[in-house]
Structure 1
Amino acid sequence: MEVKITFLLTASFLLLTGPAFAATFLEGYLDNGNFEEGPKPTDIKKTVLKGKYALPKWELNGFVEYISAGPQPGGMYFAVAHGVHAVRLGNEASISQTVKVKPGALYALTFGASRTCAQDEVLRVLVPPQKGDLPLQTLYSSNGGDTYAFGFVATSNAVTVTFHNPGIQEDPACGPLLDAVAIKELFPPRPTRDNLVKNPGFEEGPYHLVNSSHGVLLPPRQEDLTSPLPGWIIESLKAVKFIDSKHFNVPSGFAAIELVAGRESAIAQILRTVPNKFYNLTFAVGDAKNGCHGSMMIEAFAAKDTLKVPFKSEGKGRFKTASFKFKALSFRTRITFFSSFYHTRTDDFGSLCGPVLDQVRVVPVAHM
């Protein structure tokens, strides 16, 4: 009996201390991800950080400033939407941090970013071998509170996350502002017998920053394998917004997608289908109850079929469902959604908004 008990205890210990248990689920801010742990007085001169390790938990390269929210010398004003402090990256400057991850796992970085003055400012995000350039020309909210997500697949058990300003501005006071960085491990969704669409309700998505109520922007041209919205491709020229039920009205569940940039804001997914077979596509359309009023329309595409769904928004969080049948032409069928029109909030004309998409479902049609 003692041997049996010892064996069971040993087996349980090995199970709990094995690789599957040791690889913890990652969700939350990076170390000093909100930059509230400031530099030592000897490591900063006015606002300029001095030395590669002047900012705790981060490695610096080039001209990096440690910024406090509010009026700045020279008459500028920096809004720090997710805290009190931020960093500003000068020409060719970067900050980086090494993070322990699971090889082969999908992750999404969430970060607050905005331009300070120049129209052509770009923030480059690198998690080798993956990288992406985030154009900051378009301000989606007027208070500087734009939050973005960037997806990547880990290639080893530790990755270096880098934010870099690749631009050369004539005015050294210009450069991207970064005010919070978080990470979340994502689980690649699978289609089911009841629905060919992966992540149909957008429940699996990036981390929502603390003190953020504006949703998370998913940058354009994100492929499905590394998308911060698992299963979906952000194939447009502008971002789409990942919204949560805590701060917005969503038709169902905890999350949805807001198409905030008209025809320049589109998402798509490629489904496994049977050629010449008919399918039914159903989805919900509504408004986020965020002051987005007016005549809206979502256009849906599947194979060669199209449906335009008008929706009159009064900003009350209402929604309706729409559906249409389509015929698959091959073993792969792309479904795509975008907003026909551009909208801004009635209480803030500087903030882009649009119709909400949720609960996308595709099922085979039994008989035609």
Structure 2
Amino acid sequence: MAIWFQRIFLLLLVSCCASSDFLENPDFEAPPLNLSKNSNASSNAFVLLDQNSTLPGWTFQGTVQYVTSLELPDAGHAVQLGEDGKINQTFIAKGDDLNYILTFALIPGGQNCSTSAGLSVSGPDSNAVFAYRQNYSKVPWQSYTHNLGRLGNGEPINLVLESEAIDSDTNSTCWPIVDTLLIKTVGVTVVQDSGNLLTNGGFESGPGFLTNSTEGVLIDAVPSVIQSTLWQWSVIGTVRYIDSEHFHVPEGKAAIEILAGTAPSGIQTATRDTSEGSRYNLTFTLGDAKDACIGHFLVGVQAGSASQNFTLESNGTGSGEKFGLVFEADKAAAQISFTSYSVTRTQEDLLCGPVIDEVMVHSIGGTASVKPTWLLLLFALLYVAIL
């Protein structure tokens, strides 16, 4: 029964997290009205858009330039948002109670700049500012993610991207270049698997990965699990969402690499259905991402009122080791957190750190049982019938 139920859970989880094409011209490969689609490096690399220009799928204001020749994650076309530059596009939600998660590529728009301007990303229920930072990837662009909000079927979603100056000297500012936008939907209700009192403990539900990305997705600090793109986990500092295709992932297709820079970074969540005063066992896998991250990992783990530091010597080749911690629940929803205190860099001076995966909480008195509901039974029968 446990295996049968777990299979239903995994199937339902995948169905809630399927990516869809919501945006028109998300990679800017369809050129402006006054520019040939075959423009390449022989042409002017930056074409200023004016009132005679039309960028398919998008409206724009301020200083916006169409980029035709750069090292980018797709075929080499993007948009630079200069001073007061803004683009936006409205699309329609296609399901009830779904979170709309945006992943996008960001690159600074110049060299030898004193500052890099920020990129403001807004949705119906959210706003955040992102800035390109050195020492986070081997390629000259980075993938970031933002939760646009939770919306119902048929509701309009207005996605707005605009530059945000950080320094008053705009003449020496690198204005942001944006490319390859991807929208992914994540259901707000995920059925839990057999006995684990944590939701999304394997980190399988998170932002989408860009097709040509090899560097994972950076998730900046998000104090609220409601606004986080890592389903049911809040983020402290910066973490990297990594995929099994390009990194060592202990289990499944995704995991979290914690990047501790000038301050500690980490992730935090809460258990469900724990009883105050009862004892539980927290288990997790601590490892490295196989990204040449060599060093001493120190991760602080807190579970309820208990806390303990765990260490791992990493040789950067894809190691992993299981650890555990017994704790007593101090309330019905016990806090679980992982914090990295180690500033670790590769030989290329790129920030790296410990990988966390397979986080599980079980009752000491026995594995908590989760009984299939009639809805799940019906879902399973429908699935079998389709097959």
TM-score range (shorter-chain normalised) is 0.7 to 0.9
Equivalences, count = 333
Separation in 2, partners of 1:260, 1:200: 19
Structure 1 runs of 4+ off > 6 angstroms? Answer: 42-45
Opposite residue 222 of structure 2, the aligned amino acid is R
Tell me the equivalent position of 1:277.
278
Shift of 1:137: 4.3
Separation in 1, partners of 2:337, 2:299: 10
Kept after mapping to 1: 8 A contact 2:118/2:130: yes
Most deviating of 112-121 and 55-64: 112-121
Tell me the equivalent position of 2:385.
none
Tell me the equivalent position of 1:73.
none
Kept after mapping to 2: 8 A contact 1:119/1:136: no
Kept after mapping to 2: 8 A contact 1:187/1:230: no
Kept after mapping to 2: 8 A contact 1:82/1:212: no
Q: How does 1:1-368 map to 2 (within 5 A)?
A: 26-28=19-21, 30-41=23-34, 47-51=47-51, 54-70=54-70, 79-101=71-93, 102-116=95-109, 117-119=113-115, 121-137=117-133, 139-151=135-147, 152-154=149-151, 157-167=155-165, 169-171=169-171, 174-188=174-188, 189-234=190-235, 236=236, 238-262=237-261, 263-272=263-272, 273-346=274-347, 348-349=348-349, 351-366=350-365
Shift of 1:42: 6.4
Q: Structure 1 pair 364/35, CA: closer, same or farther in 2 (3 Å)? A: same
Separation in 1, partners of 2:226, 2:69: 37
Separation in 2, partners of 1:301, 1:92: 44
Opposite residue 162 of structure 2, the aligned amino acid is H
TM-score under structure 2 length normalisation: 0.79
Q: SS at the partner of 1:171?
A: helix
Opposite residue 89 of structure 2, the aligned amino acid is Q
Kept after mapping to 2: 8 A contact 1:186/1:204: yes
Separation in 1, partners of 2:357, 2:61: 42
Shift of 1:95: 0.8
Most deviating of 192-201 and 51-60: 51-60
Separation in 2, partners of 1:24, 1:31: 20
1:25-64 per-residue CA deviation (whole Å, 9 max, x = no partner) reads 6425732111111113269996211138621111111101
Kept after mapping to 2: 8 A contact 1:52/1:59: no
Kept after mapping to 1: 8 A contact 2:144/2:217: yes
1:212-251 per-residue CA deviation (whole Å, 9 max, x = no partner) reads 11001112125212321111111x1x32111010111110
In structure 2, stretches of 5+ residues that fail to align are 1-15, 367-387
Q: SS at the partner of 1:47?
A: strand
Kept after mapping to 2: 8 A contact 1:112/1:147: yes
Tell me the equivalent position of 1:12.
none
Q: SS at the partner of 2:78?
A: strand
Shift of 1:307: 1.9
Separation in 2, partners of 1:232, 1:324: 19
Q: SS at the partner of 1:226?
A: coil
Tell me the equivalent position of 2:5.
none
Tell me the equivalent position of 2:379.
none
Shift of 1:82: 3.7
Most deviating of 280-289 and 117-126: 117-126
1:98-126 per-residue CA deviation (whole Å, 9 max, x = no partner) reads 11213531121000013333535221111
Separation in 2, partners of 1:107, 1:165: 22
Separation in 2, partners of 1:284, 1:142: 26
Kept after mapping to 2: 8 A contact 1:278/1:364: yes
Kept after mapping to 2: 8 A contact 1:119/1:137: no
1:122-150 per-residue CA deviation (whole Å, 9 max, x = no partner) reads 21111123212224345511432210111
Shift of 1:254: 0.7
CA RMSD, 1 decimal? 2.5
TM-score under structure 1 length normalisation: 0.83
Kept after mapping to 2: 8 A contact 1:92/1:166: yes
Separation in 2, partners of 1:52, 1:26: 34
Separation in 2, partners of 1:111, 1:29: 14
Separation in 1, partners of 2:184, 2:18: 8
Separation in 1, partners of 2:17, 2:137: 35
1:178-234 per-residue CA deviation (whole Å, 9 max, x = no partner) reads 121011111333444510110111111111111111001112125212321111111
Separation in 2, partners of 1:218, 1:190: 24
Separation in 2, partners of 1:24, 1:241: 19
Once the two structures are aligned, what percentage of the paired residues are identical?
Answer: 30
Opposite residue 174 of structure 1, the aligned amino acid is C
Q: SS at the partner of 2:171?
A: coil
